[in-house]
Structure 1
Amino acid sequence: MTREHAPSERQGRIEQICQAALDHDAGDRAAFLAEVCAGDVDLQREVESLLAHEQSAAGFIESPALHVAAKVLPERGLVGARIGPYEMIAILGAGGMGDVYRAHDSQLGRDVAIKVLPPAFLNDADRLARFDREARVLASLNHPHISAIYGLEHDAGGRQALVLELVEGPTLAEQLKSARARTHVGLPVAEALSIASQIATALETAHAKGIVHRDLKPANVKITGNGQVKVLDFGLAKIAVPTRAAERWLEAESAVSLSDASPGLVVGTAAYMSPEQARGDAVDDRTDIWAFGCVLFEMLAGRPAFHGETTAQTLGRVLERDPDWGSLPADTPRAIRTLLERCLRKDPAKRLHDIADARIEIDECDLTPAPVQEPAQRTRPVWWLAAALLVVASVSALVFSKIGGLPLPSELFEFPVVPSDQATLLPRYGGFAVSPDGRQIVVTAKSGNRSSLWVRPIGSLQYRELPGTHDALFPFWKPDGLAIGFFAEGLLKIVALRGGLPTVVCEAPDLPEGSERDEVGGSWNRDDVIIFMSSAFTLNSVLARAGAAPAALTVLAKGETAHRWPSFLPDGQRFLYLALTRPGDPGELRIGYLDGTPPISLGRHESNARYSAGHLLFLSGRHLVAQRFDADAGRLTGTPLPVVTKPPFATWNLLAAFSVSESGVLATHPGGPIPSEQRLTWRDRSGKTVGVFGEPGRYPTLDLSPDGKRVAASLVRGTAASDIWILDLERGDAVPLTTDPAWEFDPTWSRDGKQLVFNSNRSDGRVDLFLRAADGSGQDERVVAARHAAETPSWVPGDRSIVYGDDGDNWIHTLDGKSPPSVLWKTPARERAGTLSPDGRWLAYSSDKSGRSEVYVREFPSGAAEHKVSVDGGMAARWRGDGKEIFFLSLDATMMAARVETVRGFRMLVPEPLFPSGLSLVTLRPYAVTADGQRFLIPTAIDQRSQPPIMITMDWRARLPR
């Protein structure tokens, strides 16, 4: 060993001991350190000192188990430094393969992760080679479940940095630790299998390119806010069997051996090393399969498969012992136990050979849940319980005779869907769907302040909530009934009925929410193709796979505003959809083709249509009718016959609320919930009601005038439209500003109080921005023709420009008309509801960059210096009149307040909760606040109107005239 290499080697040794010690309980560390330091008292004391420092500072670091060396070795602290356009913001972690920082990209206005090789290793040829290798490996892997690389940077001092995707959310190790603290066991089986399936998918991609990860462990797996898994840290990856693709991107690596041919070289983490890896033998894909088995075992059992008091003991158990199979939970499926046994065979020749087989076993595993126990006491009256039980008994008998293969009954049988004690049903217009075989129904329902999907058998009162489906809209079934597709947070997702977290397929429309209804819908065929409406209001197709790329199916013709409500026909290659024109006009029902064949028209219709039992069902005269349909020829024949006539149906964008199975089970609803009337209520900062204003109505969005004397509000009229009204707080009167038959919402006062800008869909259904004098004089002027849907306008001081949201970004438009609107800053996240500070220097907005909605602030108009305001989710931000406070809604609709200081940069305190608002989170600005921040104007429900039930008809054909 030369003298110049000694400090580097000692630092690396210290770092390795620190990281290994952190994996042990505090009570075990002294004995562990005494053994590994082998009598080197100075070394042991130095490590103990660093570990003490680690524990004292743990509360300030995002990943305390990973960053000891970065905190305690001063020369490695880069917070505040720059590498290229990247400014280091905070340390995220540190390890033998590099330090990881959160950094801000000043060119693209986004946060990234920067992995930096420590200065001590800049002359270490092996470390440099591995660092460069990781960059090349990541560049060759493009997959939704693998963290992406954006580039490789070098600074003037020779420091190298990988620019990586910043993956927000906990590591799997942190999630397991939290689960053990709560339950003393691992994750629920369904959740563990969902995570494992996504990990396997990532490994499958890597293995297909001849890449072995070699360091798969819970600390190298992250779970984002929407449940998506990301596999991290390919710093120890190697080429097992070079493929042509691998050879191409490794041509420049001829000077470095990537096969670790040196005998006895051991790399990885002891508890997850395969036996061959622990011995220093050559490894291939099967070493990752072993590690995958270790990770899955730990997720289920809540403890590592192999654990010793020291690294030597751990490796000994890897080589000589089997896991404690008895520690797996009792509800672990037999197929998963068998899979684990095959993954953890010590002889690689007898081990599972392909990770794809593991993924298939997991995805096809039967996880039928145990029946949910009915609560001991029910809130419904006894007579209702008796009636419900009678329905269940009757339905069960009928379902058995209908679905079990016996002859169908000739008599009609129907009943209401009885609500759950745990949640309130939200049928809306696309809030329920019958499974293809008619055995089950999925409904959107609200429990507390969050809505989600709930499933129940048709012949049962037992509901089951599907995890991870918060704010889901428009559920639709996979043809085999084993999974459900839905839309949430501007994404198309799928969730397996057996449990587990949803999988994100691709982006989907995130349309304006002022009407309390969104406008997407989907259909799924037997070839695993999903069709849905795109953000361009046309239809797209996409494979039901994580991260799949959608393809366009239809193109709008002249005069058409949207193609909506797709529904596959039985052959799975053709589908029904409606082509819409102006609001109020009927749509053209068409048959579309996946192969691009020109569509066939079936004439003008007033609603969507669905196929069942040789008929198409659709609305005619607000009644549900059925007409014979020759599926082979694609032709309607005969006369439409009535199926459901009372109560009459309403529609939203020509969508009627009904669902029908192939077997003839029909679910209907007259057209969404009857909304409660609201009163505009003044509340103080404690939530106490201090005044009521205005007439009863429905007020999705509102804004206070700068002088605090008037309110501009969108007022909903029935179910067809809304207008902007001006309410005078002093005189108590109200006058309409708009009266056309369209949706107007989100009004915003100019700084001088003389003008209002608002959204309207009067332009062929597209949501544009319009301007009107606040006194009602003149005419509405369209000032922004939206790309997608313009929303939440905010005036720039001087009232010459407007900031607004469109297509997931913040835009600015100058009212002089000399230049077109321009995007302020383009980010991959979806940013919404921007609002400028009183001095115009800062823009507050919500963004889903972390996987859920959070409130952020950026400098305006540069977009520099982004600051996160909310802590546990937030939306609908508003400023106090002096700019010293930001108000927003938490994700449980609590009104929050964050004190800020903007004189010398931007500083803020931790937000404090004020009061439960009771507001719906489906609108973007559903409240207003006075300039002094002391009173809040909140629409408050004044009654709870009865909810029309979803009606089930077991055989709709029995309703046809005879």
Structure 2
Amino acid sequence: EQLEGREVDARSDLWALGCVLYEMATGKRAFAGASQASVIASVLKESPRPMSELQPLTPPALDRIVTRCLEKDPDERWQSAGDLAFALEGLASSTTGGARVEAPGAGRGAPRWTGQRLAWSAAAVFALVAIGAFVTPRLLRQPPQPQPMKFAVTGPAGVTVVTDAHSAAISPDGRQIVFAGVDTAGSVRLYLRSLEDLSVQVLPGTENAFTPFWSPDSRFVGFFAEGKLRKVAASGGSPEVICDAPYGRGGSWNRNGVIVFAPSTLGPILKVSANGGAAVEVARPDAARGETGLRFPHFLPDGRHFLYVALPRKGDRFDVYAGTPDGKEPTRVMSAGSAPIYAEPGYLIFAAGDRLVAQQFDAERLQPVGGETLLGVAAPTSVTEGAALLSASANGALVTTATTPRDTRLVWLDRSGRALGTIPIPPGSYGSPSLSPDDRRAIVTKANSPTSFDLWMVDLQRAVTTRLTFDGSVEAGGGIGLAVVWSPDGRRAAFECDRSGIADIYAVLASGAGQPEPLVQSSVIFKTPVAWTPDGKHLVFAQIVEGSQYDLWLMPLEGDRKPVPHLRTPFNESLAAISPDGRWLAYDSDETGTQEIYVRSFSEPGEKYRISSSGGSGVQWSKDGRELIYWTAGQFYSAYGPVYSVEVETAPTFKAGQPRLLFTARPDLTGLTATSDLSRFLAVVPAEGTDAPSITVTLNWQQALER
């Protein structure tokens, strides 16, 4: 009953007593397993072997008594301790009165009793009766309250669990978890893990899926992939397209078959029938409040209201509103560090700084009640702003991804992906390395906590680290791409810094002297540096302006320093690299529906050349301009895939050869970059002995509220 979140009573204790009696009589546990998770599966699904199979001298009546204690349905068990005590006393009386026990397989002419059998039976029965007499009064007391229980779920062999905050969700009935996983080829798909028998199955057709969510009957999974909102049956089959959703930012499904979802990075929340059709706007950012985007809607139990967060963040919290599917004026509910979820019995769970907290919620008045109760540490920040950090089932189970950043190490790889050696620096949660122009130093991010990051300089020859920033406001980037870009002379590095809910671009001196200085500041929420021109006169950065997608902009570092757009399209261009001669721009674009690598002239955008053939999300030039490397990564998840090399010519015009696979990166990297001559790669890999990425399942979480 505790595992399934049901009410417990004295019959639950009778089941526990049955486990004790079973082990006393047989020397074996009624429910065994190699791990906590397998024991749980055994309790939920399996029946113990008959006691007589393990101990042939067991009296059949005793076998029946204990078996009835261990029934999975409480209504099939002994209904009271008094009933059980009466049965045990009756067994004792029948044994001492000369009842006969025949061991299975005994021949017709075999003696019915031996001294040994009689002694064993009498001793066992009297011992069990004594236990019953001692335990029965205690069973009549008020049963103890179930305690919170946690266990970890990992991916199947060859699959790494994606630990982004919104990459997993538990079904409303608490029986299954859907999660994003990365296989050894770097492909991201959705997987289903049963909590009843621990089986795992991949959901076909869910390549590049992200942000999964469940139908209220636990029969379907909704998700976003390749510019569409889709659904797939949990029992299998091909996914169905519901409607367009270019860059989905969360969805929720009510019992009336309505899905509310955020279709794009900025902008409104829409609703659509789960069977497909036209999407209709139900909530719009309020310009008077300075809002630019709404995201991560979550239906309340009534199905008539949903919660969502508004961008930009204000300090470390978002404004949370309650909207309706009919588009009525929203109600401000609270502020929170992440999109809140509703969990029975009537609580909202959300982040407050680095903490995961619960707060009682009045669903009629749409207002929180009382103070916040600490539940634990908030999950690692999502690469998607405002994401909910967990999901909840209707029967009291919570699912979160890993709750603490893992220790990592910096490793040199050759062009086949083979490890050449480790940089012997102190343990830490490092990510997103960026090599200096002379390859002698690297700047990395380092986690102070799940939500706070700073920049550190690594002297690769001396294996010495030096801290560059100190306020924890560096945007780590989730391990995808570079957190910083170096100036050509190696004296400065530009990075993304979020101090107020808006990402601005700063520069820090590589020497560590002075304070970071702002380079690009504006009201635009999302912007990140991507390249420095070879002459050091311009910074290339990507930003998303309301009504468009990510575009590439130029920031002059001399004169009026006014940013100007460089490459604007209806699609996302978010990463770039400039050739050493300054003539060509390599960049990524999702104009085909997936991210690919292209090259076009830099001074004036002209004819473009497609470089990749099967996806690309990061690119780097060799210092002689004769080679490009590029790699793939999931749209939102820090998962690296195949790394390719392409021979190129940049004069008198541009020419590119066929991509050649160098190696497939391990999916648990949190950073990858190459030296200036592309002869080696600096990778960030999990430290020795680090646990595999996992999902944490918490049962009976409500009991933590009473502590």
* TM-score normalized with structure 1 length: 0.52
3-state SS in 1 of match to 2:431: coil
Alignment counterpart, residue 709 of structure 1, candidates 440, 444, 468 = 440
- 1:815 is matched with 557
Asked if 1:769 corresponds to 2:418, the answer is no
3-state SS in 2 of match to 1:395: helix
- 1:531 is matched with 261
1:793 CA displacement: 1.8
User: Unaligned regions of 5+ residues in structure 1, if any?
Assistant: 1-381, 511-519
1:593 CA displacement: 3.3
Asked if the contact 1:831–1:848 (Cα under 8 Å) also holds between the matched residues in 2, the reply is yes
Asked if the contact 1:702–1:711 (Cα under 8 Å) also holds between the matched residues in 2, the reply is yes
Asked if the contact 1:391–1:415 (Cα under 8 Å) also holds between the matched residues in 2, the reply is no
How far apart are the structure 2 equivalents of 1:747 and 1:620?
27
Asked if the contact 1:428–1:673 (Cα under 8 Å) also holds between the matched residues in 2, the reply is no
How far apart are the structure 2 equivalents of 1:681 and 1:825?
35
- 2:366 is matched with 634
Change (3 A) 1:765 1:920: farther
Worse-superposed segment, 529-538 or 884-893: 529-538
3-state SS in 2 of match to 1:850: coil
Asked if the contact 2:531–2:540 (Cα under 8 Å) also holds between the matched residues in 1, the reply is yes
Alignment counterpart, residue 849 of structure 1, candidates 585, 591, 616 = 591
Alignment counterpart, residue 522 of structure 1, candidates 233, 251, 269 = 251
1:500 CA displacement: 0.9
Q: Which amino acid aligns with 1:690?
A: L
1:649 CA displacement: 4.5
Asked if the contact 1:857–1:866 (Cα under 8 Å) also holds between the matched residues in 2, the reply is yes
Alignment counterpart, residue 479 of structure 1, candidates 216, 220, 224 = 216
- 1:353 is matched with none
- 1:678 is matched with 408
- 2:390 is matched with 658
Q: Which amino acid aligns with 2:422?
A: V
Change (3 A) 1:726 1:896: same
Aligned length: 558
How far apart are the structure 2 equivalents of 1:705 and 1:547?
50
Q: Which amino acid aligns with 2:678?
A: G
How far apart are the structure 1 equivalents of 2:210 and 2:609?
31
Alignment counterpart, residue 484 of structure 2, candidates 747, 764, 767 = 747
- 1:257 is matched with none
Q: Which has the higher helix share?
A: 1
Deviations 1:408-427 (A, max 9, x none): x9974866364453434445
Alignment counterpart, residue 416 of structure 1, candidates 132, 151, 164 = 151
Asked if the contact 2:556–2:563 (Cα under 8 Å) also holds between the matched residues in 1, the reply is yes
How far apart are the structure 2 equivalents of 1:427 and 1:918?
15
Asked if 1:909 corresponds to 2:657, the answer is yes
1:450 CA displacement: 3.2
Change (3 A) 1:914 1:956: closer
1:833 CA displacement: 1.2
Asked if 1:950 corresponds to 2:696, the answer is yes
How far apart are the structure 1 equivalents of 2:490 and 2:469?
17
How far apart are the structure 2 equivalents of 1:665 and 1:893?
37
- 1:391 is matched with 40
How far apart are the structure 1 equivalents of 2:706 and 2:493?
55
Change (3 A) 1:396 1:888: same
Q: Which amino acid aligns with 2:466?
A: V
- 2:450 is matched with 719
Deviations 1:883-940 (A, max 9, x none): 000011256623321111111211122122223332658x7xx333233332222223
How far apart are the structure 2 equivalents of 1:429 and 1:578?
16
1:591 CA displacement: 2.5
* TM-score normalized with structure 2 length: 0.68
What is the 5 A alignment of 1:831-910? Answer: 831-890=573-632, 893-910=641-658
1:742 CA displacement: 1.0
How far apart are the structure 1 equivalents of 2:306 and 2:365?
13
3-state SS in 2 of match to 1:685: coil
How far apart are the structure 1 equivalents of 2:242 and 2:469?
40
Q: Which amino acid aligns with 2:507?
A: L
- 1:119 is matched with none
How far apart are the structure 1 equivalents of 2:269 and 2:565?
26
Asked if the contact 2:407–2:687 (Cα under 8 Å) also holds between the matched residues in 1, the reply is yes
Asked if 1:555 corresponds to 2:286, the answer is yes
Asked if 1:447 corresponds to 2:183, the answer is yes
Q: Which amino acid aligns with 1:950?
A: T
How far apart are the structure 2 equivalents of 1:932 and 1:530?
49
Asked if 1:500 corresponds to 2:230, the answer is no
User: Unaligned regions of 5+ residues in structure 2, if any?
Assistant: 1-30, 47-69, 80-142, 477-482, 544-548, 634-639
1:756 CA displacement: 1.8
How far apart are the structure 2 equivalents of 1:548 and 1:942?
46
Change (3 A) 1:678 1:626: closer
Change (3 A) 1:648 1:579: same
Q: Which amino acid aligns with 2:44?
A: V
3-state SS in 1 of match to 2:40: helix
How far apart are the structure 2 equivalents of 1:694 and 1:546?
57
Change (3 A) 1:792 1:635: closer
Asked if the contact 1:771–1:782 (Cα under 8 Å) also holds between the matched residues in 2, the reply is yes
Asked if the contact 2:452–2:472 (Cα under 8 Å) also holds between the matched residues in 1, the reply is yes
Percent identical: 31
How far apart are the structure 2 equivalents of 1:532 and 1:400?
43
1:877 CA displacement: 0.7
Q: Which amino acid aligns with 2:170?
A: V
How far apart are the structure 2 equivalents of 1:801 and 1:815?
5
Change (3 A) 1:475 1:410: farther
Asked if the contact 2:380–2:405 (Cα under 8 Å) also holds between the matched residues in 1, the reply is no
Asked if the contact 1:427–1:443 (Cα under 8 Å) also holds between the matched residues in 2, the reply is no
How far apart are the structure 2 equivalents of 1:430 and 1:709?
37
The structure, 1 or 2, with the larger RCO (C-alpha pairs under 8 Å, 6+ apart) is 2
How far apart are the structure 2 equivalents of 1:399 and 1:943?
44
Asked if the contact 1:477–1:524 (Cα under 8 Å) also holds between the matched residues in 2, the reply is yes
Asked if the contact 1:657–1:672 (Cα under 8 Å) also holds between the matched residues in 2, the reply is no
Asked if the contact 1:855–1:874 (Cα under 8 Å) also holds between the matched residues in 2, the reply is yes
Q: Which amino acid aligns with 1:713?
A: V
Change (3 A) 1:410 1:895: same
Alignment counterpart, residue 783 of structure 1, candidates 519, 532, 549 = 519
1:388 CA displacement: 4.5
3-state SS in 1 of match to 2:411: strand
Q: CA RMSD in A?
A: 4.0
Change (3 A) 1:607 1:773: closer
Deviations 1:804-823 (A, max 9, x none): 22233222222236374333
Change (3 A) 1:509 1:792: farther
3-state SS in 2 of match to 1:392: helix
How far apart are the structure 2 equivalents of 1:792 and 1:635?
40
Change (3 A) 1:440 1:564: same
How far apart are the structure 1 equivalents of 2:399 and 2:177?
12
How far apart are the structure 2 equivalents of 1:597 and 1:798?
54
Q: Which amino acid aligns with 1:915?
A: F
- 2:93 is matched with none
- 1:793 is matched with 530
Asked if the contact 1:542–1:550 (Cα under 8 Å) also holds between the matched residues in 2, the reply is no
